[in-house]
Amino acid sequence: GLKLNIDVILHQGGWLLIRDVGTIVFAIVFTILIARLLKAEDSTLVLLLGIGTGVCGAAAIAATSSILKAKDEDTAIGAGIIALVGTVFSIAYTIIRPFIPLTALQYGIWSGVSLHEIAHVALAGAPAGPNALAMALLAKLGRVFLLVPLSFILVYWMKHKEKTKSGSEAKIEFPWFLIGFIIMSLFGSYVLGHAFTIPASMMNGISSFTSFILTMAMIGLG
């Protein structure tokens, strides 16, 4: 949340949000179509893979798995597949970059809109230069931002689905982490650096700590 500056996204990357929405919708729909073509039986895993591909990788899968009432093994398998495929493609991007007809900024947008994790985007975008990397990360953070409305859409959809199936109101686990995510994002966007500032060394420490606990969460998930 602290790394997601809403003000920057809305004022500098607003037009990228439209592409990000398109990416998420396309990824989920296309994944479902492939699954039907291959006659895949685990619809929850399929949806998790579509969400992970379209939004922000393993974090999106972990975030929405409780809403979708996914099995632990589906969550872990989905996160593992997304991490592996995203790593392969981020390396592939850096290899094919000199041979594709895109400017540095266009390449940065393409990387940010299409790759899975922020780390994958950083890996692929950095070789194109600082401006391309900044654009890539801006496009990527827009997709992270869209995890919030997507989660609420999924909550509504699951409640409607369960009510249609059983005839009674279903209890869907509310993703309470989203409240903290939104609060920290608003704090970092509009309070931090405006009302008061935190020394760079402390911010670096906070960044390292959040990366560490996210790593712990991913290992625990695996």
Note whether 115 and 91 are within 8 A (CB): no
What pLDDT sits at residue 221?
A: 67
Note whether 20 and 143 are within 8 A (CB): yes
What pLDDT sits at residue 169?
A: 65
What pLDDT sits at residue 104?
A: 93
What are the Cα distances from residue 60, in Å, to 47, 66, 172?
A: 11, 11, 17
Per-residue pLDDT of the chain (222 residues; tens, 9 = 90+): 877 888 887 877 778 888 999 999 999 999 999 999 999 989 999 999 999 999 988 889 988 998 898 998 999 899 889 989 999 999 999 999 999 999 999 999 999 999 988 889 999 999 999 999 989 988 898 898 899 899 989 988 888 887 777 766 667 777 788 888 889 888 888 888 778 888 889 888 988 898 898 788 777 766
What pLDDT sits at residue 180?
A: 87
What pLDDT sits at residue 211?
A: 83
Q: How far apart are the first and last CA of the chain?
A: 23
Angle, to 10 degrees, between the axis of helix 72-96 and the axis of helix 58-65?
160
Question: Per the structure block, which two tokens stand in for 95?
Answer: 């290899």
What are the Cα distances from residue 175, in Å, to 11, 64, 148, 152?
A: 27, 8, 10, 8
Provide the CB-side half-sphere exposure for 184 (13 A, CA): 13
Q: Comparing C-alpha atoms, which of 179, 168, 190, 180 is closest to residue 210? A: 180
User: Domain extents for the chain?
Assistant: 6-221
Q: How far is Cα 172 from Cα 155, in angstroms, rounded to an integer?
A: 7
How far does CA 82 lie from the centroid of its chain?
Answer: 11
